[in-house]
Structure formats: C-alpha cells, structure tokens
Amino acid sequence: MAKGEDALIRKKNKKLRKKNSSGSSSVSAKVAAVIAAKKRRKAGKRRMCQGMCFSLPTLDDPFNDRGGKEETKTKGPKKKSHSKPKDKMDHLNGKSADGKKGAVGGRKIARELNDLQRENESVTASNNLTHKCIINSERKNIDMTEMAHLCGTKQRDCDISEFPSKFIFWCLSSIENALRHGDAYTDGEGNSFFLNPWGLEFLKCYSTGKDLIETSGTSATAEQIAWMVSGAADTFVRKEKEGLSFPGPFLLFLVPSQEKSTQVRTVCKPLKSVGIHTVSIHPGASLDHQIQGLKTCEPEFLVSTPERLLELVSTKAIDISGVSMLVIDGLNTICSAGHADTVKSIKNCISGNPRVVIFNDCVSHMSIPMVRYLLTGSICRVSLNNSINSLSSYIIQSVEVCTSEEDKVVMSIEALDQFQSNSTQNSNMLYILSKDVKCHKLVKTLKSKGYSVSLDSDAANINDRVDSDRRAAVSLIDLVQISTTDIGTYDVVVLPSFVPSIDTYVHILTKMARTSVNGVLHSFLTKRDTELAAPLIAVLEQCGQEVPQTLQDLNHTSNMLED
C-alpha cells in the first residue's frame, strides 16, 4: 500500500534526526561553519564581512585602500587635552569657521596622514629607492587648513629625532609640488626631496638643538632650503600649540642678493596655507613701500639682505628681538661685500640665544673669525662632502719650524699658554707625543705651571693626574693611540714632534674639533722633517691656509738636497 506524503516526511525527518544524533557522523565547528557559509552563499544571504573581494573605488576611497569596507564609527573614551585659546587656533588654521569641522573630517585627515607615513617608512626601509615615495598632490588631496589643525592637536609631542614628523613630509611634498608645477625647481631634476640624503642628515643634526654649519663650501640649494624651512615650520607649529607666542618673526633668513631672496621666498610660499607667512626684503624695492607693507603684515618667516634689514630695524619698522632661528646663506659673499659688521649688528639685535645655521659659500681662513663670532657654543657639522677641505673647515693649522728639539718643547708650552688665555669653559687640549719627545720634562713643566695633566702614554710609563681649579685640563697620549682615542672632543691639538707621515697628519686634522669651530692644530718641525715639507704645503694650500715662509724655506732646502 502506498504511503502518504506525511508519512514520507516523517520518515525523512527521522533519518535526519538519527544522523545528527549519531556521534560517528558529527563534524567539527570549523567544518560546520564552512557548510553554513556555503548554504548562505547559495541562498543569497551573505554577511557584511563577506563582501566582494574586488570592490569598486569610491570618492572617499579612490584607491580602494580599505577594500570596500566602510569606516566603523566608534566613540572612544574622552581624553583630557590642554586647551588653547580659540583665537590662536583660528590664526593657525587661517579660518575661523573651519575649526568647527566634525569628527569625520578629522578621522579622514588622520587616515591620510597615516597612509603618508606608511609610504615614507616603506621607502626608507627599502634598499631599492624609487619614485614611489613622491606623494602626488592629486592622490593626497588633503585640505591644508585641516592639516595644520591636525598637526597642532595630534603631533604636538612628535619628536623628529627618530623619524621626520608627518607634518615635515607634508611641507616637503607641498613645496616640491609647487616648485615643479611652476618650473622653478632645477637642482637634481628628477629626484624627490624625500630621497635627498642631505636633508635626513640635516634633520638628524637639527634635532640635537645645536647650532649648525654646512661645510661643503656652497650656497644653499632649493632642496636644502626646503628641508630647513620645513623643520622650522614643524618647530613653529609645535611651539604655537604649546601656548608660546611670537610677536616678531620666528625665522630670519639672511641672503646676499635679491635673486637669492626671491628663491627662498618661492620655496617658503606654499607654507602660507598653514598660517606661516614669508616676507622678502631687499634693496630692489623702495624703503617706504616695505615699511608700509610691514605695518599690515606680521610675517613668521623673514627673508632679507643684511643692509636693508638693518635700515628697517633702525627705523623701528620691524622688531627682530624675538627671532628663534637665524639662517645665514652665502656668508663669504656677504662679508666680501663689506657687510660683516652689519651681520654682527643684526645678531646683537636678537635677544636670547637663537639657533644659528650657516652656509658659507667659500670656506677659507678669512671667514673663520666671522664664523667664530656667530657660533660660540657646541655645533654640528652638516655635510656629505668627505674632502679634506670640508672635514678640516674652520680649523687653523699653525706650523712652526724650530732650530732644535729644545725649541719644540718650549714653543709647545707657549702654545699651551696661548690656549689658556683664549680658551672657553668647554675647550680641551691634547698633546700627541712621539718617542723622540722628552715626555718627563714636558710633564714636569706643565705641572710646574699649575696645569691639570691627564697622562696616558705608553712612552712615559706614567699614569698621573694633578687637579687644578685655575688652569685648563691638558691630555697627553702617545702617537700610536690616535686610532683608538676619540680626538673629536679636543679643540686644540699640539704635535711637539711632527708625525712620521702626512697621512697621520690628515687623520688628526679631519678627526679633531668635531663639535666646535675653534679648532687649532699646532705642528712643530725641524730640519729632520724636510721630506714632509712639500706634502704639508700641499695640504695647507688645499685647505686655504696660509703657508709660513719658514716652511717654504724648508721645502726649498729639501729640493736643493735632492738636486
């Protein structure tokens, strides 16, 4: 007898219940999840997390970085933030109404900033540096006002010593795009500002807080100017967020000519969108016109020639007493034009202790006094040039030819007395001794004069120290120890007996006085060193140093002996 439909359904359900209850036919949770997902997919009911693998781009995500997923809007715990006066934030943003934008816009900017940082980090870590790090303004179309506001709120604790802040990269990207769009960028055509090794070296030294000096012997290029003003802009924005106010210019950029002034202002012009205005002052415009212009504008960055700036300061058209950073480009050209005293007067008009950055377009012994007047503390040398002239810049090489060995000891003591009369608080002096120097007699003479002697010489077999509060500390080492001794901390090095080879002399010259512009290398020769006279003269001429007549006579004697 045929069974009805109800009986068949009951029989089928009974088999299913028996199958599900059986332990041998049970599956794991993972397999069950896969089966359930398959059934949902066939039924057309999919979860939100199972969206299309290849979603289409949208206006909010034109490059499909989020994979088609919408940004989840969650409210996090409220954090206490140090409030800032409303007018200062409005001044930084440049618009009073834009500061009231919603959280969605802030998160959008934060997301784009994070993308910007990830791209730069990936380029830095990669050995195959390509143009992938060039951030096109069309892809990163970030509103400049919102960027300034975000950098003030999110990046106030950003430290550029480990890695450049996102605001610095944004400044560099904006400057580079503006220069390339206007065909004003010709240096290093085809290379990105982010790939400039000098910029990273500058930022590393800039984070130390010391004064900086560029020792390549050239004027600042567009890339170097961009890195400097970007670092200064980052410092200015962070200090403004901390509540500091600057009634006058924050950055003063001294240039030798009107053409250089125009170049610097062109580089700084893109920073206007974040509230950093740059004014260029030069003799090409009338003085009255510039006075009227300064009355209606309070620039954060001021670019000027020394003579015109001093005229405006004397008429009280502008106040530069609160300048925090002083950059001097083309110092040798400025001094050659007779404006050395003008630069000194401008430096004296600045109260406090501003950061000083110097570009000397010609490193020679003639510019050393001016550099030493401007840089009085510890400094950082910024250069990628490994030539002898660059590494030994601002170190005076004093060469004396003595008649006997006794005269060498006497003259080396006189060099010490001269150092004592002109030394600063942090200056150090080092004697490098050779085997033919009477070490015991030299140490005894130093002690008798009351100097603090730190002796560590294998030739003397002495380890002694005499403390004195009224004399500077003097260190003595053996010649064989220069490869293991850090001589970069010593401003003055004395060679009572000249080194056996010119390579050793160059090693000492290029390794000493790394944090100072007050370096002096004293060398004492006798007739036994005639073979080294010619190569020593070549080093002095290469470094732009004065060659003494006694050394030339010694070289002439050597040539006569060879003939």
Per-residue pLDDT of the chain (563 residues; tens, 9 = 90+): 567 888 899 999 998 888 777 655 566 777 888 888 888 777 776 555 555 555 667 777 776 666 556 665 555 555 444 444 444 334 434 443 343 333 334 444 445 545 545 554 444 444 443 333 333 443 343 344 344 344 443 333 334 444 678 899 899 999 999 998 866 555 555 577 888 899 999 999 999 999 999 999 899 999 999 999 999 999 999 998 898 888 889 999 999 999 999 999 999 999 998 889 999 999 888 888 999 888 888 899 999 999 999 999 999 999 999 999 999 999 999 999 999 999 999 999 999 899 999 999 887 777 889 999 999 889 999 998 899 999 999 999 999 999 888 888 888 888 888 877 776 556 788 999 876 555 677 777 777 777 767 766 443 333 344 344 445 668 888 888 888 889 999 999 999 888 989 999 999 999 999 999 999 999 999 988 899 999 999 999 999 898 999 999 998 887 766 65
- Multiple choice CATH, 105-385, 3.40.50.300, 3.40.50.10490, 3.40.640.10, 3.30.1360.120: 3.40.50.300
Tell which residue, 55, 187, 164, has the closest CA to residue 117. Answer: 164
Check residue 188 and give left, alpha or beta (phi > 0: left; psi -120 to 50: alpha): left
Long-range contacts of 476-482 (CB under 8 A, 24+ apart): 476/430, 476/431, 476/433, 476/439, 476/442, 476/443, 477/430, 477/431, 477/432, 477/433, 478/432, 478/433, 478/434, 479/432, 479/433, 479/434, 479/435, 479/504, 481/456, 481/457, 482/432, 482/507, 482/508
- 91-127 pLDDT, tens digit per residue, is 434 443 343 333 334 444 445 545 545 554 444 444 4
Q: Which amino acid is at 109?
A: I
- Using alpha carbons only, give the angle 536, 459, 505 rounded to the nearest 5 degrees: 15
- 498-538 pLDDT, tens digit per residue, is 898 999 999 999 999 999 999 999 999 998 889 999 999 99
pTM here is 0.68
CA-CA distance, 100 to 106, in Å (whole number)?
A: 10
Q: Which amino acid is at 135?
A: I
* 91: Cβ contacts below 8 Å, ≥ 6 apart: 275
Q: In what order do the strands lie in the sheet with 301-304?
A: 278-281, 301-304, 251-254, 325-329, 355-359, 211-214, 379-382
Residues 114-144 as b or e (16 or more Cβ within 10 Å = b): eebeebbeebeeeeeeeeebbbeeeebebbb
Q: Evaluate whether the domain defined by 391-562 bears CATH number 3.40.50.300.
A: yes
Beta partners for 429? 474, 492
CA 192 to chain CA centroid, Å, is: 17
The answer to whether the 105-385 and 391-562 domains have the same CATH topology is yes
Residue extents of the structural domains in the chain: 105-385, 391-562
Residue 338 CB coordination number (10 Å):
9
